[in-house]
Every structure is written in C-alpha cells, then in structure tokens.
A and B are shown apart, each in its own frame.
Chain A
Amino acid sequence: MGTSVPSPGTTVAGANLTPAPGSGRPVPRGWRVRLLTMLAVTGPGLVAAAAGNDAGGIATYASAGAQFGYHTLFLMVFITGCLALVQEMCARLGCYTGEGLGSLFREQFPLRVTAVVLVAFLVANLGAMVSEFGGIGVAFELVGVGRFVSVPIAAGIIWALVVFGTYQHAERVFLALALVFLVYPIAAILAHPTVREVLSQTVLPSFVPAPAFLLLSVGLVGATISPYVQFYVASAVADKGVRPVDYPRQRMDAILGAVFANVINMFIIIAAAAAITTRAPLQSAQDAGQALRPVAGPFAAELFAIGLLGASALAAAVVPLSTAYVVSEAIGTERSVGKSFREAPLFLWLFTVQIVVGAAVALLPGNLINLLIKTQILNGVIAPILLTCILVLTSRRALLGKAANGPLLRAVGGVFIGIIAVMAVAAMGISVAGWFGVGG
C-alpha cells in the first residue's frame, strides 16, 4: 500500500490512501465526547433525574417532606410504577411509529378529541412555565434580588437566547447548575433520618387522612409525571431513529430512567423531612433550602438557589419549545429544525406567548412556593387525560402491531390511571369547595 503510482486519469481509489507517516492511529475522541457518551450510556436516567426536576417539582417534594414527613413515600413508590409505565409507553410509541405524540394524536383520534387534549396540554405547560419563572424568582429572592427585577429580565434573556440561536451553549451551563440537586441523596443520608421509620412508611401504606394530603398527593403525581416530559420522551426516541429491533435497550433506558429519577425525588422528600422538623407546609424558599443544610451548612440556601436557578432556566426553555413543537406537529405547520423563526411564525408565536404568560403570572403577588405547588397540582389534575390517551394509543394493534399492550398491561394501566383520575377529581372537588369557603 502506498507505493503504487496513481495512474493518470483515475481518481485515487481508497486502497492507496494512507495517513501520512507517523499519524497512523485513529485520532482519539475528545474528552468531552467521551463524557457525554458515558452519560448517554449510563445515565439518560441520571441526566433526566437532574434535568427533569424543575422548580415546581423541587418545591412539591420538599413541601411533602416538610409537611408530612415520610408519609408520602409509599405513594411515591406507586407513582414510580406509574411513571415507569407511562415513560415506557411513550418510548414505545416513539420507537415503533417514528412520530411524536402531537402527530399521532392528530392522525389517530377524532379532531375534537385532539383539540381538547392539546388544550389541556397547553394549560398544563403554562402552569409549568409559571412554576419555572416562579423558581427563578425564588432563587433570586434567596440572594436578595426581588422577583419584579429577576423574572422579567430572566424571561427576556431566555427568549433571546433561544430565538437568536445561542441557546445550546447556555443549555450546558444551566444543566451544570441543575446537577446540584444530585446532592440530595447525600443530604438525606447526612441528615440521619430514622431508617426504620423511612423504610416502613415506604413499604407500607401510610396515608394521612386530610384534604391537604390528597391535594399534595395530586401535586406529587403532577410533579413526577410531567406531561411535557412524556411528550418529550416520545419525540426524543422518534428523533433518534430507533428501530423496533433495537427497542429492548430503549425500554430499559425508559424504565431505569424513571426509577432513577424517582429515587432522587424520594431522597428530596427524605432530606426535607429529616432536616425540617416542624410539620407544616413550606412557606418560603428559605425553609426549602434547609433540607440541604447537612451538606452545605450555612450555605444551604445559596446552594439551593443555584440548583433551583439552573433547573428553572433549563425547563423555562424546554417547556415552551416542546409545546410549540407538539402543537405545530399536530396542526401540520412548518416545524423543521432547519427553519429559522422567521419561517415558522406560529411556532415563534406559541413559544413567545408561553414565556410571557408564565412570567406574568409568576409576578402576581402571593407566596411563590405556594404557587409552585399549585401548578403541580394542576399538572396532576390534567395528567389522567393525557395518560388515558397514551394508554389508548399503545393498546391499538393497528398502530403498534405485536408491540401493542396485552390484556395485562391494559388492565394494570387502566387501574393505575383510574386511581390517579379519582385522586384528581377529588382534588378538584376539594379545591372548588375551598373557593366557596367549604371544607378544610
């Protein structure tokens, strides 16, 4: 090789191409690529656990721990099962159909049903946007900057970052900040909770018969089974081009990711329950930050603020983008990743409105932590609608063929969703009664 003279008139065939002497080895991939590859292999779950927790989630888990100690842990086990079920179904849909949920709804359901579901999805995501900007407000209030300054500026910056194309760089920074919440397991252990108590209330049902417990439970459902995350999972799997033959690996990722993420969430509850001893709803971010005291000591609040900022900023861009993609997909307008914003006006409009509404509502006077938890309750109320649609789609043999749900999965899914639906309806009842001054 390398000694034959290329005869005139031919293109050089591959056989006599050799790297110049001294450079024969393939160039090793950079360290960044290797780190990302490792993360990709071991931790879609890892990254999801960190990135999937947004401000509303953190506030709800911390509040659950503060207010009810370890009593919500059994429920979290049930919710983990639901999450694993739903995430696996979304991944299966993405893999076998190669389409996102917006497109599937439009093609598989009557148009009116699709419209109702998408409106519900939009409402849930507006709630999520409120919680993200609320989280940014909380994070800055912890270091002394008022929300009327931080929220509008943050909204403007995030909007500009995405629209002018530099978001990918900022995304890495936000992700790094959000990884702070991976210290919660450490915080939980360092807080020396009573292990027997923790385990017994995880393994055995231990509910508190109070309306507030039910509301918070629905909030936990909403915080864990965030609609936008499930839609994202489906489209992410579709976008990777995963073929049905490669699905088993994808299924493992989806289930493990769900379990891992929820284990972290349970640690947040444990850490909060152990560190905050007065059993009352969380009133301020200061209190929420106390859960990190075992790890960060006097800097608990600051550490909490950093993590909260990262998680909120990350989600504040992902949520409106995901929503805009789903709706554009369902309507059938231009949404290709190659387009500029100018070429996709509906997309840009959808994206902007979500940021504006989210920021505006977060500026309304009131307790931000309360607001955050309320948005998760809203998520929890809307969740059964979307979950039912996903269960219906995955049960359709015409769509998934042999990969469609068998009778067992359909039954289990139906029961789980039924339970969540009953909780949601009860929660709505309590809330409405509360508006009229009835009940506790």
Chain B
Amino acid sequence: MSASRRGMRPHRTHHLDLAPGPRDSVVSVAGLVARPVRNPGGEVVGHVSDVVARWDTGEPHPPLAGLVVRVGSRRAFVPADLLAEVRPDRVTLTTARLTLQEFAPREGEVCLVRDILDRQLLDVDGVRVVRAADLYLATVSDRVRLVGVDVGLTTLLRRLGPARWRARARPDVVIDWASVHSFGAVALTESAGRGAIRLDRHRNELNRLLPVDLAALLEDLGRQERCELLDVVEPTVAADALESMHPDKQRQLLTETGPPRAADLVSLMEPDEAARALRGLSRQQRDRLLDAMFDEKADALRSVMAFGPDTAGGVMNTALVIASVTDTVEHVRILLRTKRHVADLDAVVVVDEQGQLVDDVSLEELLLAEVATPLADLIGPPWPVWVTPNTPVRRVADRMLDAHRLSAVVVDGQRRPIGRILADDVLQALLPGLGLPRLPRPRWPA
C-alpha cells in the first residue's frame, strides 16, 4: 500500500496570522540571538544566547521562563521576571544589578534555540513533518509566550542575511504552536512522569490518524523523532501504519527499533503483511524477531513464509472467519463483531463436519438474510474460487477474473480452508510498482 496516497480527511494546517498588531509585538527567536541585553541604564550587560520556555505547564502556548545571556565567557540565566521588555531589537532588564547564576537546564524547561529551532516538528492538524525555520514569541495574557513556528523558505533565507533582516519578524508560513508536536523535550528535561503531560496533548489526535498518514509521518521523521512518535501512538495504530509504509522504510524501522518492540509491531500486523515485512529483512534479523514473538504467532508467520512470495500461500491472509453449515446468520454476525480486520473480509467460509470447505458466503448475502436463517440455506452458486497454496498468483488472478469474484479461498490437501486471498493482495503481488512513480533512492553500492 502506498504512503503517497494521503488520507481522505482534509489536512488543514492551523496557520497563525501574525500580521495585524504592532510589528514589535511579535519577537523572532532566531532574531533575538546575539542581541544586546541592557540594564535600565542602557549599558550592555551581555548578549542573548538562548531562550528558555516552560514546557511542563500543559498550556498550548508555553510561557517564557527566561533568557540565557552570554556575559563574557559565561552563560547566565535571567528569569522572566527580571526582564522589563523583550523586543526584536533590544532586551532590557528590570534591575541594574544582576546576580549571575550560571545557567543549568532545569526540569520542565526547554532551550528553544538549542533544541527546537532547526529541528523537525509535527504539524498535527496538517499531518506533515516540518522543520522550524523560526519561532515566534508574543505577549498573551500578560506573559510572553511561544505562539508560533515559521516553516517558510523565505524565513530561512532571511536568517542568512544581516542582523537587521533577522531581527525584524516577517512571518511567512506560520503554524500555531498549539497544534505542533515537538520532539526531544522529554529526553532533555527528565523522566517520563512530567514529560507525559506534554505528549498527551496530541496523543488522541495522533492515535486517530489514518494508517497511510501516520506511515507518511514515520517515513519523513529522523530516527530519534520516529522512535518518540512510536512511544506516543498505540501499538495497534503503529502496526497498521507499518503496513502502509514503503518496503525500504518498513525495513529501516524494524531494523532500528530492535527485537522487542519490532516483534510486537509485526505480530500485530495482518499475517500476510507481516510475512511480507519479514521477507524484506535479513535472515538473522527475521529469526531474531520471530524468536521474540509468541510461539503461536511466530509459527503462523513461519508457515506463511514457507510458501514462495508469488504463490497463493505466500500472499494469503490467514485470518479467516469460519462458520459451520449448521450455524445461523446471527451466530456469524456475533463472530464478525469480534474480529479486528473485518473490514478486509468480503465473505465468510462455511465448512462441514469434517472441516472441509463447503461454500464462501458473501457479507452481502448475510446482510440481506433474516437473522434466524441457517447457513445451509445460503449455500449455493456462485461457488467460491478455491486454490491450493502452491498455485501461482497469476493463476489465482485468472480464476478470480473468470469467476468475477473479489477473493479466493486457499485450502490444504484435505480441502480445509487455511487462508483467503483478496484482490488487493493479488494486485500487490503482480504489480509491485503500482502507483505514481516514486522518487528513486540512489541505491548503489548494494
């Protein structure tokens, strides 16, 4: 499945319009760096080195905690209450005397220049990965706060220019900080206890992302950020996203994540997708992951991988819903409610007392029948397409086309059903390059 197909839900970045209001009310963080810090008398005490914000208040716009000021060769911390004004071209202190406390990072605080500027961020509403070209501070509710991040190219170029250009905030493409998810803050500040407050703000939204969208985000993020994102989303959500990732990126993620978590993710994927993912790994890695899984799951995957990738057995999905000839429609409906990947099913397999395939009843038939109807009444033409595991995928495709069916049932030597092949499995196996031409990754050497 291609991650270049974006989800159907429109992605609307929450832009911030910073144009109205006095220019000076918005302060560019990149422009603040190296600005002189003066005491009330006008003397220059030092130069701005970094901007510190409080990260753990849980507010959508983190308040300013203070500035890191370079005085001579030392870096001192000036708390926000000692700052009379913070403007694009100057910073003034409230007191003439400044006791220099050497700067040391504290819990719940983040240095914006060192840790946020130029780093990757998640635009949660717009569902994309961006890099902070600049950060904006503004006074909101009587406190100076971090309100937005600029990701425009012009802003980046402006920072290359002289100090004059840098200081004047000319907001380009600005995203409201409230809808931005940043990384690294947790690792920097301290343990998960406090940091979890920050992460939770977007936890729900991130967990509701469509698999294709989450896959695109995971592909665009750097390794550290990707790992942190996997910490935030539920494992089932991550497994679904993994199924939608490009094979190379999938392999990269599974390799860099390492056995315990990678094994969890693979075991939560659909069996055929899991098998495909495992086939892309080296034998050593594959064995490590399989060993880290529950035996039952590992055996199931090993059996799917025992068949060649171009055979029915290699592309089938082993999650079947099987009903007996003597069951009723109601019984089947109860069954379907308990299955996780029911959206991928189009029919229910019906077996006799020996467990042999009798028919494949479509969901449509089940929907239209009365709940008390015994399945025996629904059995009849059109008969299912059934194949053995070693049937080449092309042959399966032919048979499905001839019978006008969307799926085929895979049976073993005793005609007992062992899996199902859906139309998209066939497409994926036959046409690996399906979709828009991708940006080729230069691949040599090996």
Partner-B contacts on A (CB < 8 A): 2, 5-6, 8-15, 17-21, 23-24, 26-27, 36, 39-40, 43-48, 51-52, 97-99, 103, 106-107, 111-112, 115, 162-168, 171, 175, 232, 238-243, 257, 314, 317-318, 321-322, 325, 331-344, 347
Contacts and interface: CB of A to CB of B under 8 A. Distances in A.
B260 interface: no
15 contacts: A6-B417, A15-B299, A17-B418, A20-B413, A27-B308, A47-B445, A163-B437, A171-B440, A241-B251, A242-B255, A243-B255, A332-B151, A337-B439, A339-B4, A341-B437
Interface stretch (B43-51, B98-106, B233-241, B322-330): B322-330
B390 A23 contact: yes
Contacts of B437: 163-166, 340-341
Contacts of A347: 439
B216 interface: yes
B107 interface: no
B298 to A, nearest CB: 8
Contact of B246 (A6, A14, A24, A338): A338
B354 A44 contact: no
Interface residues of B, number: 88
Interface string B239-258: 00000011011011111111
Nearest to A317: B442
A23 B308 CA distance: 10
A19 B445 contact: no
Given A12-B318, A338-B4, A20 B388 contact: yes
A99 B335 CA distance: 46
Interface stretch (B191-199, B218-226, B366-374): B218-226
Nearest to A232: B442
B414 to A, nearest CB: 8
Contacts of A239: 248, 252, 441
B321 A11 contact: yes
Contact of B220 (A5, A166, A314, A335): A335
Contacts of A335: 220, 439
Given A2-B412, A17-B318, A344-B439, A334 B220 contact: yes
B159 A18 contact: no
B351 to A, nearest CB: 7
A-B pairs, 9 with minimum CB distance: A98-B223, A165-B437, A14-B300, A332-B131, A241-B255, A8-B324, A5-B355, A241-B256, A47-B445
Interface string B275-312: 00000000000000000000011011111111110010
Contacts of B164: none
A20 B389 CA distance: 7
B319 interface: yes
A240 B119 contact: no
Contact of B331 (A9, A51, A106, A107): A9
Contacts of B160: 111-112, 115
Given A336-B3, A340-B438, 7 more contacts: A14-B302, A39-B446, A44-B445, A51-B444, A163-B437, A168-B443, A314-B444
Contacts, number: 223
B405 interface: no
A243 B252 CA distance: 10
A12 B390 contact: no
A19 B303 contact: yes
B268 interface: no
Contacts of B299: 14-15, 17
A12 B320 contact: yes
A162 B412 contact: no
Contacts of B442: 232, 317-318, 321-322, 325
Contact of B351 (A8, A48, A321, A343): A8
A162 B254 CA distance: 28
Given A8-B351, A336-B220, A111 B412 contact: no
Contact of A111 (B159, B252, B355): B159
A317 B159 CA distance: 32
Nearest to B296: A14
Contact of A106 (B131, B296, B319): B131
A20 B412 contact: yes
B261 interface: no
A239 B301 CA distance: 25
Contacts of B304: 17
A281 B418 CA distance: 71
Contacts of A112: 160
Contacts of B253: 241
A106 B446 contact: no
A13 B296 contact: yes
Interface string B405-446: 000000011101111000000000000010011111111111
Contact of A338 (B251, B306, B313, B438): B438
B417 to A, nearest CB: 7
Contacts of A171: 440, 443-444
A343 B307 contact: no
A241 B300 contact: no
A374 B436 CA distance: 39
A359 to B, nearest CB: 19
B335 to A, nearest CB: 6
